[in-house]
């Protein structure tokens, strides 16, 4: 029986973890910001919860509705509902701590 693409990816991830290959890429802070900006669908140079959720989906994060809300609560220090450049540092800390991403300066 043929295996689905999803099953193949899942098996590959398990094997990579077993042999010590990192399954989450290490990104520079600039690469992280550049990656995130592609989800700024309304072009306001800020990231809202729906845009953050879209980004999380492409990074294979599970429970994106829940985690995008958690990320916004932690990173959006002025509570205006969007993340600006100043608040992206908070999002980096959240992504490393809660999503297992590795982001370097």
Q: Specify the CATH number for the domain of residue 88.
A: 1.10.238.10
Task: For residue 78, give its domain range.
Answer: 24-104
Q: What is the pLDDT of residues 5-15, one digit of tens each?
A: 666 656 655 65
Q: Which residue has the tokens 């990579």?
A: 16
23 versus 14: the higher-pLDDT residue is: 14
Identify whether 16 is part of a domain: no
Identify whether 96 is part of a domain: yes
Identify whether 18 is part of a domain: no
Identify whether 100 is part of a domain: yes
Identify whether 17 is part of a domain: no
Identify whether 50 is part of a domain: yes
Identify whether 15 is part of a domain: no
Question: Are 76 and 82 a contacting pair, CB within 8 Å?
Answer: yes
- pTM (2 d.p.): 0.74
Domain count, the chain: 1
For range 11-27, the mean pLDDT? 61
Q: What is the pLDDT of residues 55-78, one digit of tens each?
A: 999 888 889 999 999 999 999 999
Q: Which residue has the tokens 């600039």?
A: 30
């Amino acid at each position: 029986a043929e295996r689905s693409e999803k099953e193949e990816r899942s098996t590959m991830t398990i094997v990579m973890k077993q042999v010590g290959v990192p399954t989450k890429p290490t990104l520079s802070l600039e690469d992280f910001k550049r990656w995130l900006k592609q989800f700024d669908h309304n072009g306001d140079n800020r990231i809202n919860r729906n845009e953050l959720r879209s980004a999380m989906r492409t990074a294979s994060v599970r429970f994106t509705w829940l985690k995008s809300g958690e990320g916004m609560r932690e990173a959006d220090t002025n509570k205006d509902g969007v993340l600006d450049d100043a608040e992206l540092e908070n999002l980096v800390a959240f992504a490393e701590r809660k999503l297992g991403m590795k982001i370097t300066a």
